[in-house]
Amino acid sequence: MTIWNIIVESFLETPRDVLTYGRRKYFYVYVENDDVYIESGREHKNISNIKVRRKLDSQNFDEVYEKYKSVAKPSEVLNITYNSAYWFGIFRELNL
């Protein structure tokens, strides 16, 4: 099973709030049609300020995951995606 499939299956089965990588704000993660979406947290008071739902980019997923595994900081991945803190939070949530 690929890392992408692990993420999709987990959040398809159980959509939920996840902490950003810096553990400061909660955001809600869910799946529709095998796409991963995020929006402001639903179950906590300390939520991310996401105005409209965002589809996390699967095209750059492998590169972002490799940076995460190499212990990069989310700020070092901004040239790939502005959603790095969310991606890193998802990776940490799933112990990937």
pLDDT tens string 31-55:
999 999 999 999 998 999 899 999 9
Query: Average pLDDT of the chain?
Result: 91
Q: Is the pLDDT of residue 80 over 80?
A: yes
pTM over 0.85, yes/no = yes
Q: Is the pLDDT of residue 91 over 80?
A: yes
User: Where along the chain do its domains lie?
Assistant: 3-93
Angle 50-67-7 from CA coordinates, rounded to 5°: 60
